[in-house]
Amino acid sequence: MATAVARAQCVNNALPILRPIMPYPDLWDVFMTNHMVVAERVQKGQISIAEANEFLAQKRSELVAEEQRGLLANRSVAAQENIASASLQAAGPHSCIQGSNAVTCF
């Protein structure tokens, strides 16, 4: 039977495959670090597997919330940029006529 640390390392070895497609790979790094620390504590008998699972579930929840905050902030910025762009387009001239000495835009 594999040790807790060996199982955690196996999971951590698989996670880098997903890293390039994750919007916030630094959050994966935090999870992988937590996973190894908890596995080592289980291995040393400092906490039970149930306690480890509870701790990791809580950390996953916190990291998902952080990711969602980041995604929401990005959407908010994009929406503000779209509003500003639309405002500029609406305020700008729609057509221009070149006269003999001047260009008139309206």
Residue of 75, 54, 66, 74 lying closest to 28 (CA atoms)? 66
pLDDT at 1: 42
Give the mean pLDDT of 53-81. 88
Give the mean pLDDT of 53-68. 92
With cut-offs at 50, 70 and 90, classify the pLDDT of residue 94: low
pLDDT at 93: 62
**Residue 9 neighbours by CB under 8 Å, 6+ apart:** 36, 39
Percent of the chain with pLDDT over 70: 93
Q: Return the amino acid letter for 79.
A: A
DSSP of 47-103, one letter per residue? S-HHHHHHHHHHHHHHHHHHHHHHHHHHHHHHHHHHHHHHHHHHHS-S-EEE-SS-E
Burial class of 37 by CB neighbour count within 10 A (0 to 12, 13 to 18, 19+): middle
For the cut 80, the answer to whether the pLDDT of residue 104 exceeds it is no
For the cut 80, the answer to whether the pLDDT of residue 91 exceeds it is no
Domain ranges of the chain: 4-105
pLDDT at 7: 77
